[in-house]
Amino acid sequence: MIRTSRQLADGREILYFDDDAHPAPHDAADGRDLPPVSTRSQLRHDALLDEWVVVASHRQTRTFLPPADQCPLCPSRPGRPTEIPDADYQVVSFENRFPSLATGVERDVPAYAPGNPLAELRPGFGRCEVVVFTSDHDRDFFQLGADRARLVVDVWAERTQELSAVDGVEQVFVFENHGEEIGVTLSHPHGQIYAYPFVTPRVATVLGSVRRHRERTGKDLFAQVVAAERSGPRVVAANEHWTAFVPAAARWPYELQLFPTRRVPDLPALTDAERDAFVEVYLDVLGRFAHRFDTPMPYIASWNQAPVRARDDWWLHLQLFSLRRAPGKLKYLAGSESGMGAFITDTNPEDVAEQLRAVVLP
């Protein structure tokens, strides 16, 4: 993989990634007249839940569902400059123009929220990047092909390693939101990376469960879950290095977890063979999501990587889930889910696994 670093007109970094066989100079300049990026994010601590909330009110003006000929992630063309100055590219990563977290955020913030000395405030430090998978506006991830998908995996790993080394970053989150129903504001195939200055609630909860299980039983909870599911009735796709299964207590109507056979903490720790094998399984299950109904399912692909300072207790895995429960019907997070965090699912995990296995891929 070849990496080329450039700067956009407002000073943000843009990184071009090419496979070794197709290098490119990527020397087009960004000629736009852009104002400096203004980031006013804060972290506010919820004392009752012991969780951090990111307040990023400046994001209200971000780009929202532009027409295809105004897409800011397509290559630039004469008279139509975009976020990516080159006329073509393979995979690109750049700092978000409307970031929730930023390294250049205002550091001088009050100690507490107005009127509440229990609501600690911190600067909204971190980094938010956009990862664009292809220059083709109309090609979804499952249509990328093995070579391009593998390049994306290598980019995810490279960015994870670099961002994990930033002083103050505690967790790196790689994800893709796909489909307007999910809340996507740009339809061009892309994902994002968040470098958080805290450990997210989900990861903290899982770590707590793993540690309590070890103290109580002396056994590895991750290893037991992986071993049980690899031989269970909910496997949808598998090879030597990866297994994709519907979790026994799935929260979403259609949900898969992809675990590597070998315990690794994060994407950079995967071998070349494991990365190739992931692409095989991932493109398979994405194709099943795309063809389960008459239209492709919206989904979130969410990498669960080890926190920067808690690598030994973690097992890398990917969550892939959709809120579509039937043709034309979505699962809304209503009172129980949104109010209490108690999920009520509309589908049976074993049935979902059988339905996904039965999908005939073109």
Which residue spans within 204-282 are E strands per DSSP? 235-238, 242-245, 254-260
List phi, psi (to 5°) of 73: -105, -5
What does the block give as tokens for 23? 């290098």
For the question of residue 190 being annotated catalytic, the response is yes
Provide the greatest CA pair distance for the chain: 65
113 with 119: CB under 8 angstroms? Answer: yes
With contact defined as beta carbons under 8 Å apart, do 174 and 133 qualify? no
Nearest to 169 by CA among 126, 139, 117, 204: 126
Residue partners of 218: CB distance under 8 A and separation at least 6: none
Distance between CA atoms of 145 and 152, rounded to whole angstroms? 11
Residue 23: CA count within 13 A, CB half-sphere: 6
Structural element, H or E, at residue 16:
strand 13-18
∠ CA 295-149-176 to the nearest 5 degrees? 55
Give the pairing type, strands 112-113 and 324-326: unpaired
Catalytic residue among 178, 188, 190, 317: 190
| Residue positions annotated with a catalytic role | 190
